[in-house]
Every structure is written in C-alpha cells, then in structure tokens.
Amino acid sequence: MTVVDDFRIQFADFKGDTQRQFIELRTFMLLGFGILFGGFGILMGFILWDRRTVVAPVKKQLDELKEENEP
C-alpha cells in the first residue's frame, strides 16, 4: 500500500464518521423538537380545557341572574 491509498482509506473513514455524526445529531434534534412541540400542544390543550371548565359555570350563573332580573 502506498501513502495515497492509506490517505484515501483514512479520508473515507473520516467521511463516514462525519456523516454518522450528522445523522445522529439530526435524529437527536428531531426527537428534541418533537418532545418540545408535543409538550406545547399538551399545554395548549390543557389551557383550553381549563378555560372552558372555568367559564361554563360562570356563564350559567350569569344566565340565571339575567332570567331572574327580566321583567
């Protein structure tokens, strides 16, 4: 083997390692963003559910007061 062949083999190994690292980084980022946006969606769902459960009794009570005060 010549020095050029050794260099080509080392460069191919380096290129493969670099590609593998980028694939791992991409997978990690997709997982992280998936967890982040999933948590955000769950939080928004909880906020909307909570607002609905808080507003419904107040609206019902307000409607009852309006009925009582109508002539």
Q: What is the mean pLDDT of residues 8-30?
A: 89
Q: Mean pLDDT across the chain, nearest whole number? A: 89
Report the pLDDT value the prediction gives residue 33, as an integer from 0 to 100: 97
Q: What is the pTM of this model?
A: 0.62
Tokens 């107040």 — which residue? Answer: 58
Non-local (6+) Cβ contacts of 66 within 8 A are: none
Q: What is the pLDDT of residue 11?
A: 81
In the chain, % of residues over pLDDT 90: 45
Residue 71 has pLDDT above 80, yes or no: no
